[in-house]
Structure 1
Amino acid sequence: MSWTTERERGSAHLLRLTCWLTLTCGWRIGRLLLYPITLYYYVTASGPRAASRDYLRRVLGRPARASDVLRHIFTFASVTLDRAFLLSGRTERFAISVEGLDALTALLSRGTGCILLGSHLGSFDVLRDFGRTSPVRVSAVMYRRPGSPMSRLMETLDPDLWRDVITIGSPDAMLRVQENLARGEIVSFLADRDPDARPDRIATVDFLGGRADFPTGPFILAAVLGAPVVLFYGIRLGPRRYVVRFEHFAATITLGRATRRDDLAALVSRYSASLAAQCRAAPFNWFNFFPFWKDPSA
Structure 2
Amino acid sequence: MSTEAARDWTRQREGGNRFSLHLIRAIARHGGRAAGRACLYPITAYFLLRRAPERAASRSYLWRVLGRPARLRDIARHIHTFACTILDRVFMLSGQMQRFDIRTSGLDGLHTQLDRGQGVLVFGSHLGSFDALRVLAATRPDVQVRVVLDKGHNPAMTQLLDALNPELARTVIDAGQDGPSIVLAIKQATDAGALVALLVDRARPGEPSLPAPLLGARAPFPVAPWLIAGALKVPVVLAFGLYRGGNRYDLDFEVFSEGLSITRHNRGSQLADLVARYAQRLEHHARRAPFNWFNFYDFWQSDDPHAQSVGRHDPAPHARSEPPARVERPERVEGPGVAPPADAGAGPAAVAGAARAGLRR
Regarding TM over 0.5, the answer is: yes
Listed one character per residue, the Cα deviations across residues 109-129 of structure 1 (whole Å, up to 9, x for unaligned) are: 211111110001111111134
Moved more, 89-98 or 33-42: 89-98
Which residue among 167, 176, 183 is the counterpart of 1:174?
Answer: 183
1:160 partner SS: helix
Moved more, 216-225 or 252-261: 252-261
1:258-273 matches, within 5 Å, as 258-273=265-280
CA 1:228/1:146 → structure 2, altered by over 3 Å: closer, same or farther?
Answer: closer
1:107 aligns with 2:113: yes
1:194 deviates by 4.7
1:136 partner SS: coil
Give the Cα–Cα distance (whole angstroms) in 1 for the partners of residues 115 and 95 of structure 2: 28
Report if the CA contact (8 A) 1:95-1:242 is conserved.
yes
Listed one character per residue, the Cα deviations across residues 122-147 of structure 1 (whole Å, up to 9, x for unaligned) are: 11111134246423111111122357
Aligned to 1:188: 197
1:29 deviates by 1.2
Which residue among 257, 279, 282 is the counterpart of 2:286?
Answer: 279
1:125 aligns with 2:131: yes
1:16 aligns with 2:22: yes
Which residue among 29, 33, 43 is the counterpart of 1:37?
Answer: 43
2:158 partner SS: helix
1:246 partner SS: strand
1:136 aligns with 2:148: no
Letter in 1 for 2:253: F
Give the Cα–Cα distance (whole angstroms) in 1 for the partners of residues 218 and 154 of structure 2: 33
1:209 aligns with 2:221: no
The two structures have a TM-score, normalised by structure 1, of 0.94
More strand by share: 1
1:161 deviates by 2.9
Aligned to 2:58: 52
1:206 deviates by 0.8
1:280-295 matches, within 5 Å, as 280-295=287-302
Give the Cα–Cα distance (whole angstroms) in 2 for the partners of residues 191 and 226 of structure 1: 17
Letter in 2 for 1:105: H
CA 1:38/1:117 → structure 2, altered by over 3 Å: closer, same or farther?
Answer: same
1:203 partner SS: strand
Q: Percent identity?
A: 42
Aligned to 1:64: 70
2:237 partner SS: strand
Aligned to 1:241: 248
Q: How many residues align?
A: 296
5+ unaligned residues in a row in structure 1: which ranges?
Answer: none
Letter in 1 for 2:50: T
Report if the CA contact (8 A) 1:114-1:230 is conserved.
yes
Letter in 2 for 1:202: S
1:242 deviates by 0.8
Report if the CA contact (8 A) 1:236-1:285 is conserved.
yes
Letter in 2 for 1:180: A
1:235 deviates by 0.9
Give the Cα–Cα distance (whole angstroms) in 2 for the partners of residues 147 and 59 of structure 1: 27
2:99 partner SS: coil
Letter in 1 for 2:46: Y
Give the Cα–Cα distance (whole angstroms) in 1 for the partners of residues 154 and 68 of structure 2: 39
Listed one character per residue, the Cα deviations across residues 154-188 of structure 1 (whole Å, up to 9, x for unaligned) are: 12211223212111131322111111111222111
Report if the CA contact (8 A) 1:210-1:294 is conserved.
no
Letter in 2 for 1:96: I
Q: What's the RMSD between the two structures over aligned residues?
A: 1.6
Letter in 2 for 1:43: L
1:7 deviates by 1.1
Give the Cα–Cα distance (whole angstroms) in 1 for the partners of residues 123 and 104 of structure 2: 16
Give the Cα–Cα distance (whole angstroms) in 1 for the partners of residues 132 and 229 of structure 2: 23
Report if the CA contact (8 A) 2:151-2:176 is conserved.
no
Report if the CA contact (8 A) 1:154-1:161 is conserved.
no
Report if the CA contact (8 A) 1:229-1:251 is conserved.
yes
Aligned to 1:28: 34
Report if the CA contact (8 A) 2:10-2:153 is conserved.
no
Give the Cα–Cα distance (whole angstroms) in 1 for the partners of residues 86 and 148 of structure 2: 20
Give the Cα–Cα distance (whole angstroms) in 1 for the partners of residues 89 and 154 of structure 2: 19
1:8 deviates by 0.5
Report if the CA contact (8 A) 2:123-2:239 is conserved.
yes
5+ unaligned residues in a row in structure 2: which ranges?
Answer: 309-361
